[in-house]
Structure 1
Amino acid sequence: MLFSKTPLIGLKADQFRHPLDLEATNALKQLPGLDLLVRNLLGPVAEQFFYLENIAAGILVGEQQLPHIHKLLLEACQILDIEPPQLYVRQHPAPNAYTFAMRGKQPFIVLHTSLIELLTLEEIQAVIAHELGHLKCEHGVYLTPINIMVLAAGLLPNWGAAIAESLRSQMLEWLRCAEFTCDRAALLATQDSRVVSSVLMKLTGGSPTLSPQLNLDAFLAQARAYDDISNNQLGELLKQAQTAQLSHPVPVLRAREIDRWASSQVYQNLLQKHSTGYYNGKVDTKGGWRNW
């Protein structure tokens, strides 16, 4: 099912963190008391609430439950050198995945059923690895309050407008930058930029019936056309206005960014530096690598 991949033993978050993520994270650290608020106040309440919510209304993936998805998780964790979190599948019509984690606590990832139905197994692993990127980079201190507010807006519609107002532009800017880093984690796990770009393409305009008909090369050409709009000041201003209130960069921009990084010497050097052999597609459940 999966091709041989390079295990990234000893991989550190800062070795693949996007420069914009680093810059935006440093800016968020200047907000007084945010880290303390999340870990000591929001964190314990949110962790227990969503743990109960997942247990009650989600499927916990494991060796005896959706084992093919569990294997994708273990493979991605071994490649990225990270302990496996809990993984839940939840019934939902909107294709999405999200992560919750507090430092030193049990992290978990949630995949929506509609997302799984939309993607191939390799693409599902890319999504899992993207979420693992949030864990690897300890994005939880800032990601958790954003996710709480977004999910609360859906669960409590009457509060939606007030919650949306509380999503500060600085935190949204950080989240957009963090997504670039996590797309890199998806690439490091799949080691195929076309798989990552295909996920973005299907999330842009795919469906279970349309996705097999989509053309990835045409989508990447579309990404380059989006770049061309920045050739003048008006185009750049319009792009900034378009993305200012978004939690994620626009998909074509993410596809272009990951395509560029996959061709970079930095990415190639990272694979070579951490390579201790090639993964043969078998999961070592004892936590070690079976190297050739």
Structure 2
Amino acid sequence: MRPMQREPHILLGLRADQFRHPVDLQATRSLQQLPGLGLLIQNLLGSTAEQVFYLDNIASSIQINEHQLPEIHQLLVQACRILDLEVPQLYVRQNPVPNAYTFAMQGKKPFIVLHSSLLDLLEPPEIQAVLAHELGHLKCNHGVYLTMANILMLSTSLIPFGGLFYQALQDQLMHWVRCAEFTCDRAALLVTQEAKTVISVLMKLCGGSPQLAAKLNVDAFLEQARTYDELDDDLWQVELKQMQNVGRTHPLPVLRAREIDRWFRSNTYQQILELHG
């Protein structure tokens, strides 16, 4: 007989600055100081762009609600209650690559999209961890920068500037995206309130499949993450680690697993639960 799962703490009044990762805060401040950023946001993320993304999504995906896949909708509703957020729209889209993403341009009509293959790979608590991760972007107002990063990656022809400005902006945005992911992993932990659930998601996205998922070992993956974390014996290894991050949209899975394990054991995490629980 499986033990009964305890009810999670509802974090009423939770503020983004209480769990935002320091590297996210620093990267956001640096991005805001970049010359020309405001003009670029105005040009790329106007009302027309927002409507295009929204229409494409609602026409090509299945909206999840209380009448359509209600068990997944309930996972979203509970995650929103825990993070003290309004419930955004949620969709599932046919795609063989496990992924999820959030659109929230100018703070209007935010929605989350889950790929069908992600649902095939994860158990319900893990699906909720993914939803909470995406909600973290909404809680921290990441939406505008996230959407701009996606557009920059789609096509350079959309950029009204070129040369060094474009490259510098793209590099700084990709750095910001990687930093923001650490914050959203914390949002996932605040909802699941179990580090192994979040780490299991990272493990399965790293090397899982529907056939292998049930056989994977979270403790072994976390030990792998600790081993990687300790590989700083010389300067060359440190430089190789830095090179691994170049051009990536997400931090390395082992780094994310190690980071969330540390935060789970920290006083800061426990204090948030006690303060809002």
Give the TM-score normalised by structure 2: 0.91
- 5 Å-filtered alignment, 1:36-55, equals 36-39=39-42, 41-55=44-58
- 1:141 is matched with 144
Cα distance change of structure 1 residues 103 and 42 upon mapping to structure 2, 3 Å threshold: closer
The one-character-per-residue Cα deviations of 1:60-80 (angstroms, maximum 9, x if unpaired) are 110100100100000000000
- 1:210 is matched with 212
- What letter corresponds to residue 207 of structure 1 in structure 2? S
Contact 1:46–1:148 (CA under 8 A) maintained in structure 2 = no
Which secondary structure does the structure 2 equivalent of 1:168 belong to? helix
- 2:249 is matched with 247
- 5 Å-filtered alignment, 1:4-23, equals 4-23=7-26
Query: CA–CA distance in 2 between the matches of 1:259 and 1:185?
Result: 13
- 5 Å-filtered alignment, 1:10-159, equals 10-39=13-42, 41-150=44-153, 152=154
Query: Would you say 1:177 and 2:175 are equivalent positions?
Result: no
Q: Which moved more, 1:137-146 or 1:256-265?
A: 137-146
Query: CA–CA distance in 1 between the matches of 2:96 and 2:276?
Result: 39
- What letter corresponds to residue 196 of structure 1 in structure 2? V
Contact 2:45–2:105 (CA under 8 A) maintained in structure 1 = no
Query: CA–CA distance in 2 between the matches of 1:67 and 1:137?
Result: 26
- Tell me how large the CA RMSD over aligned residues is: 1.8
Q: Which moved more, 1:140-149 or 1:194-203?
A: 140-149
How far apart are residue 192 of structure 1 and its match? 0.6
Query: CA–CA distance in 2 between the matches of 1:249 and 1:102?
Result: 23
The one-character-per-residue Cα deviations of 1:230-265 (angstroms, maximum 9, x if unpaired) are 232111100001111101000000000000000000
Q: Structure 1 residue runs of 4+, over 6 Å off? A: 164-167
Which secondary structure does the structure 2 equivalent of 1:23 belong to? helix
Query: CA–CA distance in 2 between the matches of 1:165 and 1:28?
Result: 14
The one-character-per-residue Cα deviations of 1:72-121 (angstroms, maximum 9, x if unpaired) are 00000000001111101000000000001023311000000000100000
Query: CA–CA distance in 1 between the matches of 2:111 and 2:41?
Result: 17
Query: CA–CA distance in 2 between the matches of 1:17 and 1:104?
Result: 19
Contact 1:103–1:138 (CA under 8 A) maintained in structure 2 = no
Query: CA–CA distance in 1 between the matches of 2:109 and 2:40?
Result: 18
Q: List alignment gaps of at least 5 residues for structure 1.
A: 154-163, 276-292
% identical equivalent positions: 62
The one-character-per-residue Cα deviations of 1:161-182 (angstroms, maximum 9, x if unpaired) are xxx9687211111111100000
Equivalent of 2:230 in 222, 228, 231? 228
Equivalent of 1:197 in 196, 199, 205? 199
Contact 1:101–1:140 (CA under 8 A) maintained in structure 2 = yes
- What letter corresponds to residue 129 of structure 1 in structure 2? A
Contact 2:44–2:148 (CA under 8 A) maintained in structure 1 = no
- What letter corresponds to residue 100 of structure 1 in structure 2? F
Contact 2:149–2:170 (CA under 8 A) maintained in structure 1 = no
Query: CA–CA distance in 2 between the matches of 1:5 and 1:85?
Result: 21
Cα distance change of structure 1 residues 273 and 36 upon mapping to structure 2, 3 Å threshold: farther
Query: CA–CA distance in 1 between the matches of 2:224 and 2:248?
Result: 20
